């Protein structure tokens, strides 16, 4: 009952207030083109939201020089941390207001982009952050908002949501509104080529999770299917390429396009149980979101195979050079095996050592609650199913029994 109700609600939201894709600059030099667009739109007091690594390693020197050379008064906020908290956003908001910033320009991963989204909203809202959390709580336009992702996986540059953790409890709060989609984004491989191989793998598998969960959602659409399919094609082809050679700019650009498409697909269609479980684990143990998704994904694929077999088979048929095989059951198992092989190819571990069995009950309860009220999952899990997945993650076996 709950799943049917949330499916109808999500479909109504996606149909009546569909998310819009931002303008995209793709390829080397896209960051400067995006900055030029912002300036020509009349914004010359940007808040540059980024992390200290990018700033201290000179990766933003060209951008800052261009902005300042174009007459901009640039304010930098570099206090981004993984799984950002309300206190981080509040610090960035104070920096924005104190310097009378007229735009927000985010350069970074999902944590930086999510923080920047909420700063851009809170800068104009005149409300406490807690009052902005939830669905459709934004009444005023955000500060003009521009994004350059430096990881290829979160899809935050095209999503309607931001995830911020409570400063004390670290429980994740969701900020959801179409206004969070930026005006424009740059998919610039020059800022991606130094991404370490383990992070490349984790965020790439995160993008794959987005695409698969969108494709198997009960709230799917023709256009979300199209974007998810293309994202999946690109990830299977190019994620191993950039894992082996981070300097491969064509591969970097293709993976970033895949992340963008997967982000738009799930923004329209919703996510699923991988994210419902992953959010609880990363909140409790501060595990990287992409890695946590990557570890959980094969287990949830197996749980859903009875109800999603036709979708898995369609994806395998799309990816396979063997056009002769038509049996859904064979294609389904091949697709699951293909995902396993990709995870192994990019060295995704089979377990997460941080998880403690004493936390199973609370993780399970929070995961089921998130899914019940947020996602149009293809198959509803029960407590024993989530606990079986958690146990398999502890033991390091992807092949879970859901008896």
pLDDT in tens, the chain (403 residues): 345 554 555 555 565 566 788 999 999 999 999 999 999 999 999 999 999 999 998 999 999 999 999 999 999 999 998 888 999 999 999 999 999 999 999 999 989 999 999 999 999 998 888 899 988 899 999 999 999 999 888 888 999 889 898 887 777 888 989 999 999 999 999 999 989 999 999 999 999 999 999 999 999 999 999 999 999 999 999 999 999 999 999 999 999 999 999 999 999 999 999 999 999 999 889 898 899 999 999 999 999 999 999 999 999 999 998 777 789 999 999 999 999 999 999 999 999 989 999 999 999 999 999 999 889 999 999 999 999 999 999 988 888 877 6
Task: Supply the pLDDT for residue 127.
Answer: 83
Q: State residue 74's pLDDT score.
A: 97
What's the rounded Cα separation, in Å, for the pair 10 and 224? Answer: 14
**What domains can you pick out in the chain, each with its CATH number?**
29-187 (3.40.50.1970), 197-395 (1.20.1090.10)
Q: Are 283 and 292 in contact (CB under 8 A)?
A: no
Position 3 scores a pLDDT of 58
pTM for the predicted model, two decimal places: 0.89
């Amino acid at each position: 009952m709950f799943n049917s109700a949330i499916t109808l609600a999500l479909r109504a939201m996606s149909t009546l207030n569909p998310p819009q894709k931002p303008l995209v600059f793709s390829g080397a030099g896209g960051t400067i083109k995006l900055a030029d667009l912002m300036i020509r739109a009349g914004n010359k007091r940007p808040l540059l939201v980024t992390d200290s690594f990018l700033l201290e390693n000179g990766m933003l020197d060209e951008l800052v020089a261009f902005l300042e050379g174009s007459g901009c008064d640039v304010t930098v906020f570099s206090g981004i941390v993984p799984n950002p908290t309300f206190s981080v956003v509040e610090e960035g908001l104070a920096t924005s207001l104190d310097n009378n910033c007229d735009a927000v320009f985010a350069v970074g991963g999902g944590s930086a982009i999510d923080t920047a989204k909420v700063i851009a909203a809170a800068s104009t809202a005149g409300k406490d952050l807690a009052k902005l959390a939830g669905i459709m709580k934004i009444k005023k336009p955000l500060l003009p908002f521009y994004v350059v992702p430096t990881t290829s996986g979160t899809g935050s540059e095209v999503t309607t949501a931001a995830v911020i953790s409570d400063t004390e409890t670290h429980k994740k709060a969701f900020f959801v509104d179409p206004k969070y989609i930026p005006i424009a984004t740059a998919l610039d491989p020059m800022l991606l080529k130094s991404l370490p191989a383990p992070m490349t793998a984790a965020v790439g598998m995160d993008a794959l999770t987005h695409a698969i969960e969108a494709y198997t959602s009960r709230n799917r659409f023709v256009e979300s299917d199209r974007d998810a399919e293309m994202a999946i094609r690109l990830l299977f082809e190019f994620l191993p390429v950039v894992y082996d050679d981070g300097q491969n700019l064509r591969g970097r650009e293709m993976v970033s396009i895949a992340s963008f498409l997967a982000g738009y697909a799930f923004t329209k269609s919703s996510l699923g149980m991988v994210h419902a479980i992953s959010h609880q684990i990363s909140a409790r143990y501060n595990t990287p979101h992409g890695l946590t998704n990557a570890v959980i994904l094969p287990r949830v694929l197996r749980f859903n195979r009875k109800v999603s077999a036709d979708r898995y088979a369609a994806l395998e048929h799309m990816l396979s050079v063997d056009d002769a095989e038509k049996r859904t059951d064979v294609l389904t198992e091949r697709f699951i095996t293909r995902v396993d092989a990709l995870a192994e190819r990019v060295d995704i571990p089979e377990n997460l050592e941080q998880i403690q069995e004493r936390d199973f009950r609370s993780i399970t309860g929070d995961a089921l609650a998130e899914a019940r009220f947020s996602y149009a999952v293809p198959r509803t899990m029960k407590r024993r199913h989530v606990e079986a997945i958690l146990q398999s993650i502890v033991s390091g076996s992807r092949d879970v029994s859901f008896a």
